[in-house]
Structure 1
Amino acid sequence: MQNTRRVLRLPAVLTAVSTLLLGSTAASVTSAAATPAAAPPPTVVTATVPVGAGPIGEALAPDGSRLYVANSGDNTVSVVDTARAAVLATIPVGPQPVALALTPDGRRVYVADKGGNAVSVIDTASATVTATLTGFAQPQGVAVSPDGTQVLVSNNDSNTVSVLSTADHTLVRTDPVGDRPGALAISSDGHYAYLVSPFTDTLTVLDRTRTDAVLGTVPVGPQSFALALSPDGSRAYVTDSAGAAVTVVDTASRTVAATVAVGGSPLGVSVSPDGAYAYVANAGDGTVSVLSTATQTVGATLVVPAGAVAVGFAPDLLHAYVLGNGQVSVVTPVPAVTAVSPSSGFTTGGTVVTISGSGFSGATAVTFGAAGPASAVSCTANSCTAVAPPGAAGTVDVRVTTPAGTSAIGAADHFSYLLPTADVSVGLAANPVPALLGAHIDYTLTIANHGPATADSTTVSAPLPLGTTVSSPDCTVTRATVSCAVGPLANGASVTRHFTVPVGLLGINLTVTATRTAGSPADPNPANDSAARSCTAFTSLFISCH
């Protein structure tokens, strides 16, 4: 009688799945190893993938490349290619599949076929059922031990958990547990197993090191439905489908740490791989509640048009996958920029910039404020490289756009456009060539660009006393003034120019100064813009320069 009363408390939205009682996702009932991610969570539906009828359970391959969906309405498992957001295969399984779990190596999927009192074993390489295990009593939950050696199956109709060897699928033992066990999870260290019951509204804790001895039970909310563990195993999150809440259990003390109000009829729950968020699929209003695990409060509510009965995270936190109404909704984070390097470049554009952050997968554009879109954009999940366009002097915001939206403006995305400068130095060498006849002094100008910008044009002039004879193979000479023009000179490049002054029999006393007299862009260091050499010749046979 008590059980009948609790079944009647199921919300109307659960009518289609009321016979499942606990159709939680494998992704939401197994804990994952923590990763050092600190990225914003997925918040925008960017794609939907049609799957089978009545999708109720999901599990992701360890590398996140495949999503396996249990379709309780047509007795199939859909295999979704997560990169292409497309179904690769549809695998027939037993009647009413409600939950599934992958081995740690990703080679097999175990599917709880509640209506057939069986577990289907799928080989992921061939996408076929290679074995059908029998002898269960309405299997409701399934989990694989972290070491991959055992499979645990909760039997809703016999109040037991079956423990099987993955090596040969033989039964290791049958553990008696509480009334009507449903969703099942194993801690990442393999020490504890947890299961919920919607008929007794309890969370049961098993010690796996003591042949799954029952350590105790924790009262949770009404019509407890699904279960997820934090990556470190310190918290268990249980959806209370009749209470529109999530019960947060401290696993160390086995006490309720918080009860958090969420949306209508919460069914599925999953904790992000970094442990920062718990996502709750609310079947009653087609939303997902984003719960901060640090504050145990709901920070956002996502509307999922296709409905929400189960949810799971990609291992890299780049996507969440929400099941509902024959579809998988792919939820993606809005991109966030955390750094721009280098953080400045010239107004002429062309600076190759690396943008760091998160949520950059599928980026469609990188923009530099009013300067507009960048070119040569290439992005990974957490980094983009792009070539800055020309822009006006000043600071702009570098923003990344993906199908999920455009990154918010903040100090971390600043890029400063600077007027270009080129530090051009002038060097002068004098080489005396004494002779009785034809004595002369060969001068060599060295013009070097120390950057940072390209020297677009540079003119160096060396005026000599009027009447001085001078010749040059690569500069112009006008009224005893040597003028050398140099075209574009890259940062770090240098060129030489030459001119010659003859020395007569009676000698010469000459000081020559070469100076940068014009150029573009501006030179920030005028101290090295000139050089001088003095030469003295008492006769054409003796010439000294310094």
Structure 2
Amino acid sequence: MTGGSLGEAPVPSGTTRIAGSPDGAFLYASKSFSPASTITVISTATNQDVGTITVGSGSHAAAVSPDGSRLYAVNRPDQTVSVVDTATRTVTATVPVGGTQPQEVTVSPDGREVYVTHNGGVTVIDAATNSTAVIPVTGAPATVAFAPDDTHAYVTNSASLGNPGLAVIDTATRTITGTVPLGGPTFALVVSPDGKRAYAARSLDKRLSDIDLDTLTVTDTIVFTGQRPQRLGLTPDARRLYVTRSSGGDGYSLSTIDTATNTIISNSDFNARIRDVAIGTPPTADLGLSLDAAPRPGVNGRIDYTVTATNNGPSSLTTATVTVDVPAGATSNGCQIDGTKATCTVTSLNPGASTTRQISVPVSALSLGTPYTVTATRTASTPTDTDAANDTAARTCTATTPLLINCD
């Protein structure tokens, strides 16, 4: 996609900001009111309003956790953040921010911490306990973007005078370890999926800075004419950068940038005001397999195999099929066996969770003294599995007699 509108979704009049769920299934549109604001939930499948969430006063920016389970909404006048359960669409906590004029909110890639910018610093919210700590940052911190491995957070600064540039925060020590001068106030910020580059919007002078995060230097500058850059969105493959632009009488547009050359390859004009970019990433779930073999010697000796399937995330597993090559005569209480193939089905597995299936092979089904290898293979799964390296597991056993069984 190089630009253009594929459709429109109605949002309430007065909507100030948009946030998207990581899987792209929902948009959350913030509408600022006092004493209470609302967030409209929009299904991207139907482009229809599917619910409303009431949050604090003057709701502004919002962000969704990587697993999509929580939404964090900044309430400017209240100087708080509303924590929303996206399943029930209710506020479960209201967290005070440790500074005035809270601006933007960003959730760390692992979902454990939430960074909120405000005058003179960044408040860090522990997502598990909602406890807070403040990292002092000179000026007017604007937007936070994280390194993919969570080791660093990068903070732009909108201060007009004495602007310190881009601040680099060590997330383990919560200290500033470096800065990148950017020549003036900066606002929106994105970091590439490999953590090597960042783009920072210098809205007032109509520029984007392309930053090398290894050397902490600006390597290129993209200059706009007319409308100012507002918000940024980078595709998961980092090939395209989307920039919302606006400026009074010049209207509103969406620019698409080829990041290989840093050239603008399209501009799409809009009649309505646009400000945010939300790019969803299709969910993935890496299902890893392991296989154990336990000899059971005896007059009716057998080998008990245990297939363990573990969801390594990042998303929940909906369903998966694991096939196991077995000799005729094998039995199982959790898999369907047809001749020499066992088919095992796995459903509804959360990230980090495991499930097991057992298969028993009688020694009488084996050729005595000949090694026999049983192999388990993931043959299908939803959502997409991104790592084929752990899709198979095998064990080799040799039965000399029903009383003597060895497994590697």
Q: Which TM-score applies when normalising by structure 2?
A: 0.63
Identity %: 35
- How far residue 279 of structure 1 moved from its aligned partner, in angstroms, is 0.7
| Residue type of the alignment partner of 2:150 | G
**1:155-204: CA deviation from partner (whole Å, max 9, x where unpaired):** 22xx1212221112112x32111211111111211011011111127211
**In the aligned structure 2, how far is the partner of 1:121 from the partner of 1:292?**
36
Alignment of structure 1 residues 345-424 onto 2, 5 Å: none
Q: Which has the larger radius of gyration?
A: 1
Query: What residue number does 1:150 align with?
Result: 113
Which string of whole-angstrom CA distances, capped at 9 and with x for unpartnered residues, describes residues 364-394 of structure 1?
Answer: xxxxxxxxxxxxxxxxxxxxxxxxxxxxxxx
8 Å contact kept, 1:178–1:204: no
1:106 maps to what in 2? 68
Q: CA deviation at 1:305?
A: 2.1
Structure 2 residue aligned with 1:309, among 275, 300, 322?
275
281 and 80 in structure 1: CA distance in 2 versus 1, 3 angstrom threshold: same
Q: Does 2:200 correspond to 1:235?
A: no
2:145 matches 1:182: no
Is the 1:266–1:309 Cα contact (8 Å) retained in structure 2? no
Give CA deviations for 1:7-38 in whole Å, capped at 9, x if unaligned.
xxxxxxxxxxxxxxxxxxxxxxxxxxxxxxxx
CA shift at 1:73, angstroms?
5.8
Q: Which residue of 1 aligns with 2:227?
A: 264
Distance 1:56 1:253, change over 3 A: farther
After TM superposition, list the pairs within 5 Å mapping 1:159-238 onto structure 2.
159-171=120-132, 173-199=133-159, 200=163, 202-209=165-172, 211-238=173-200
The one-letter code of the counterpart of 1:214 is I
C-alpha displacement at 1:110, in angstroms? 0.8
Q: Which runs of no fewer than 5 residues in structure 1 stay unpaired?
A: 1-40, 318-546
1:278 and 2:238 correspond: no
How many equivalent pairs are there? 273
Cα 1:87/1:105, change in 2 over 3 Å: same
Match of 1:63 in 2: 23
Alpha-carbon distance change, 243 to 59 in structure 1, aligned in 2, over 3 angstroms: same
Contact kept? 1:221, 1:243, Cα under 8 Å: no
Report the AA paired with residue 179 of structure 1. Answer: G
Are residue 246 (structure 1) and residue 208 (structure 2) matched? yes
Distance 1:232 1:144 in 2: 18
Conserved? CA contact 1:97–1:112, under 8 Å: yes
Find the aligned partners of 1:114 and 1:237 in 2 and give their Cα distance: 26
Distance 2:13 2:54 in 1: 12
Normalising to structure 1: TM-score of the pair? Answer: 0.48
Distance in 2, Cα, partners of 1:71 & 1:265: 23
User: Deviation of residue 78 (structure 1)?
Assistant: 1.6
What is the identity, as a one-letter code, of the residue corresponding to 1:167? A
RMSD of equivalent CA atoms? 2.0
SS at match of 2:62: strand
Task: Give, in whole Å, the separation in 1 of the partners of 2:212 and 2:280.
Answer: 25
Structure 1 Cα separation of the partners of residues 12 and 56 of structure 2: 14
Displaced runs of 4 or more, over 6 A = none
Q: Is the Cα contact below 8 Å between 2:97 and 2:123 reproduced in 1?
A: no
**Aligned AA for 1:315?**
T
Amino acid of the structure 2 residue aligned with 1:197: N
- Cα distance, 1:112 vs. partner? 1.3
Q: Structure 1, residues 293-327: CA drift from partner, whole Å, max 9, x if none?
A: 1111111111122222221223259xxxxxxxxxx
Partner of 1:118: 80
Paired AA for residue 308 in structure 1: I
Q: 1:107 to 1:316 in 2, by over 3 A?
A: closer
SS in 2 for 1:174: strand
Displacement of 1:290 after TM fit?
0.8
Offset from partner CA, 1:245-281 (integer Å, 9 cap, x none): 2111111111111110235121111111111011110
Amino acid at match of 1:177: V
Q: 1:55 to 1:237 in 2, by over 3 A?
A: farther
Query: Residue 8 of structure 2 aligns to a residue in which SS?
Result: strand
Alpha-carbon separation, structure 2, partners of 1:153 and 1:277: 27
Residue 153 (structure 1) shift: 1.5
